[in-house]
């Protein structure tokens, strides 16, 4: 538990030498109190999968765009209080419910793909989906820097996406990024699952990849906000399970980040890593190790002392401090970015 209500942070900064479809169906605009509109769209991505997306666009021409990748067993609706925080800085946000999660997998209004189902995903498909999302976003917001941002499982994915190596089919997209942001990334679990269980699950995933098994996330380990944790438990789009393939890939590739992928970090690609030191879901120590290992010319690690897993849901203005940390990182890169902002970058998504 916390001995004080005063939040402190620890910073470490290192400065060292697919087919894209136009958003033409199921588009609606929503106006939220005291903030500009966001657009809700269903877009066709890899394998003709229909993805549920939201785009938050500031009232003035955006200076940058965040492409946001959510975590395991959740969806972008859980960020409706967080993503709008960037609009006052003229930073737009494009977010999607990932393959196998949220509305993309569980919509009941006839908009999701027929072959989409909860948990039906894999690392390879996730990499292709991120490439598609970035390519689509770049066309919708041409001429402004794009940052790839992920939380938890999504944090591990974005780190994995940019460390596929120079022979990756996604290398062109990686080279176009202005920076990467990973909050509470799943590199390793705080309390890893038994190796025998992992081995059995890995073998089973080869012949029954989409079989669902229990994957409980303890709600009170997510944040110190009881209301947020209770909402998580009652959320109809959140399930306490995952597929054999999805879980195996998520945990395995997270560990490979520390053992091998880190060597492929593009030296010129800036990165911001953020983690709470009391995270009981993903290991902040693993994040520290990853930070130490990569050879990025511009890298920063921000540790929230006493922070739980979902910093975006923590009380005492922690989510605002998290947003400010991200904005500061983005603005630092914008000062070095030579791409001019077009006179009108409003998204049509």
Tell me which residue range forms the domain holding 323: 8-332
User: What pTM did the predictor assign?
Assistant: 0.89
Asked if residue 181 belongs to a domain, the reply is yes
Backbone torsions φ then ψ of 95, nearest 5 degrees: -135, 150
**186 domain residue, yes or no:** yes
Buried-state track 307-318, b at ≥16 Cβ within 10 A, e below 16: bbbbbbbbeeeb
Average pLDDT (264-293) is 98
Q: Which of 5, 3, 4, 2 is nearest to 317 (CA)?
A: 5
* Position 123 in a domain: yes
DSSP 308-333: -S-GGG-TTTHHHHHHHHHHHHHHHH
Is 349 within the bounds of a domain? Answer: no
Handedness of CA 276, 278, 279, 285 (dihedral sign): positive
Predicted local distance difference test score (pLDDT) of residue 338 = 53
Q: Is residue 2 part of a domain?
A: no
Position 188 in a domain = yes
The pLDDT of residue 14 is 58
Q: Shortest CA distance to 282 belongs to which of 261, 300, 260, 308?
A: 308
In a domain, 160, yes or no: yes
Widest CA span in the chain: 57
pLDDT of residue 199: 82
User: How many angstroms separate the Cα of 271 from the Cα of each of 85, 151, 251, 327?
Assistant: 20, 14, 22, 13
Chain segment 120-158, per-residue pLDDT in tens: 999 999 999 999 999 999 999 999 999 999 999 999 999
CATH of the domain at 304: 3.40.50.1820
Within-domain flag for 346? no
Give residue 18's pLDDT band: very low, low, confident or very high (50, 70, 90): very low
pLDDT attached to residue 195 = 78
User: Could you report the per-residue pLDDT of 303-322, keeping only the tens digit for each?
Assistant: 999 999 999 999 999 999 99
Say how many domains are in the chain: 1
């Amino acid at each position: 538990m916390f001995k004080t209500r005063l939040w402190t942070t620890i910073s470490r900064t290192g400065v060292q030498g697919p087919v894209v479809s136009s958003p033409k169906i199921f588009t609606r605009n929503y106006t939220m109190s005291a903030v500009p509109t966001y657009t809700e769209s269903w877009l066709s991505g890899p394998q003709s999968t229909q993805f549920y997306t939201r785009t938050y666009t500031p009232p003035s021409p955006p200076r940058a765009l965040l492409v946001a990748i959510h975590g395991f067993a959740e969806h972008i609706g859980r960020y409706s209080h967080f993503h709008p925080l960037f609009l006052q800085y003229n930073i737009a946000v494009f977010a999607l419910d990932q393959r196998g999660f949220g509305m993309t997998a569980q919509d009941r209004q006839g908009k999701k793909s027929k072959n989409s189902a909860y948990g039906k995903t894999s690392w390879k498909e996730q990499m292709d989906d991120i490439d598609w999302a970035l390519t689509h976003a770049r066309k919708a917001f041409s001429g402004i820097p794009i940052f790839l941002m992920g939380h938890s499982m999504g944090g591990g994915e974005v780190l994995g996406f940019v460390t596929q190596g120079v022979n990756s089919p996604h290398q062109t997209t990686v080279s176009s990024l202005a920076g990467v942001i990973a909050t509470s990334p799943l590199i390793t679990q705080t309390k890893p699952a038994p190796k025998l269980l992992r081995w059995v699950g890995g073998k089973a995933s080869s012949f029954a990849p989409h079989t669902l098994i229990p994957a409980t996330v303890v709600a009170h380990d997510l944040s110190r906000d009881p209301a947020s944790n209770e909402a998580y438990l009652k959320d109809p789009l959140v399930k306490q399970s995952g597929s054999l393939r999805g879980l195996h890939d998520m945990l395995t590739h997270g560990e490979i980040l520390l053992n091998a992928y880190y060597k492929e970090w593009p030296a010129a690609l800036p990165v911001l890593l953020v983690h709470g030191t009391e995270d009981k879901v993903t290991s902040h120590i693993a994040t520290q190790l990853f930070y130490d290992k990569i050879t990025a010319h511009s890298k920063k690690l921000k540790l929230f002392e006493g922070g739980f897993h979902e910093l975006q849901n923590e009380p005492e203005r922690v989510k605002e401090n998290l947003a400010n940390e991200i904005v500061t990182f983005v603005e630092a890169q914008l000062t070095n970015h030579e791409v001019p902002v077009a006179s009108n970058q409003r998204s049509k998504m």
